[in-house]
Amino acid sequence: MQLKQLSFAVALVVASTAAMAEPMVIKYSHVVAEQTPKGQAAIKFKELAEKALPGKVEVQVFPNSQLFGDGKEMEALLLGDVHIIAPSLAKFGKYTPKLQVFDLPFLFDDIHAVDRFQDGPKGQELLDSMKKKGIKGLGYLHNGMKQLSAQKPLKTPADAEGLKFRIQSSDVLEAQFKAVGGNPQKLAFAEVYQALQTGVVDGTENPWSNIYTKKFHEVQKYIMESDHGVLDYMVITNTGWWDGLPDDVRTALNKAMVESIKYGNKVAFDEAANYRQKVIDDKKAEVVKLSKDEVAQWRKAMQPVWKKFEGDIGKDVVDAAIAANKN
């Protein structure tokens, strides 16, 4: 072969290798079990994104804090070590005070009110509240209303006095348990089971899907049907990375994200009652109903928490959330 022919052949190989370029790897990391609403939404995103962009993207999903626990995932996102995460709305305090609205106890009547608020203008505005920090909100994702759990029944706020509670890294949740005389401790989600099992803490709060899939009901004697707050997520990405994607890729990923969130939300709505029933059927923990009067006592005890954070959050945001309770 002549030198000219040879270099042409080499050029052809190089060109076809470039055409078969490796797909872009997109890492989606989270801390919960695969069968939960968030776990299912992440899997759905992988499926839809890879279908829409065949050979162009590969989505790798890491559940159960396998890649990053919730202490590290936000930092990793900003460093570009992971591309999509969906932290609980309680975990954004370092980046914006506004999302603390979701932690105010007894603010939302139910998950439908949360949904209306998130879909409304204020909720949508909050998706951009961390833009300056390099974080872009792609959408909200439901888990559900939180239930209190402990080694003793917590019928009234006085029952919580002196108990140690695991909380997410939220100053509002810290104030919530302090308001009833408890000792809150911020711990990563991956550490909760062991902390409950070994008595490092006496109680905690989480929605039914997390209680069941992480077996918290096996290491807690009582679960109160308190529905006292919400645990939802914001699916976020690194603004720089997202804006730097080719337009067609970004558009397709956004569409896959919207669909995957819809799917996850459906799982959240459909499965909350099932997970509650599974916890009851397991008979490991007793599920305790609170009377209207008992709920009123909890509500009253936690009023100071609102006062403390309303200013930072913004009255406009709190008012919009309250208004969402009226269908």
For ligand LMR, the closer of residues 33 and 78 by Cβ is 33
Rounded Cα–Cα distance for residues 9 and 318 (Å): 67
What are the Cα distances from residue 218, in Å, to 82, 112, 168, 271, 282?
Answer: 33, 29, 20, 20, 9
Contact in structure between 12 and 4 (CB atoms under 8 Å): no
Q: Which residue has the tokens 């919400």?
A: 230
For ligand LMR, the closer of residues 86 and 318 by Cβ is 86
Nearest CA to 232 out of 133, 296, 321 is that of 321
- Residue facing ligand LMR at closest CB distance: 88
State which of positions 117-176 bind ligand LMR (CB under 6 A). 143, 168
Is residue 102 involved in binding ligand LMR (CB under 6 A)? no
Nearest CA to 209 out of 191, 189, 195 is that of 189
Is residue 206 involved in binding ligand LMR (CB under 6 A)? yes
For ligand LMR, the closer of residues 196 and 295 by Cβ is 196
Rounded Cα–Cα distance for residues 23 and 319 (Å): 46
For ligand LMR, the closer of residues 40 and 143 by Cβ is 143
Contact in structure between 178 and 167 (CB atoms under 8 Å): no
For ligand LMR, the closer of residues 160 and 252 by Cβ is 160
Is residue 88 involved in binding ligand LMR (CB under 6 A)? yes
The site map against ligand LMR for 30-59 (x = CB under 6 A) is -xx---------------------------
Contacting residue, 45, 68, 140, 189, with ligand LMR by CB under 6 A:
189
Is residue 210 involved in binding ligand LMR (CB under 6 A)? yes
Rounded Cα–Cα distance for residues 100 and 186 (Å): 16
Q: Which residues bind ligand LMR (CB under 6 A)?
A: 31-32, 70, 88, 143, 168, 189, 206, 210, 231
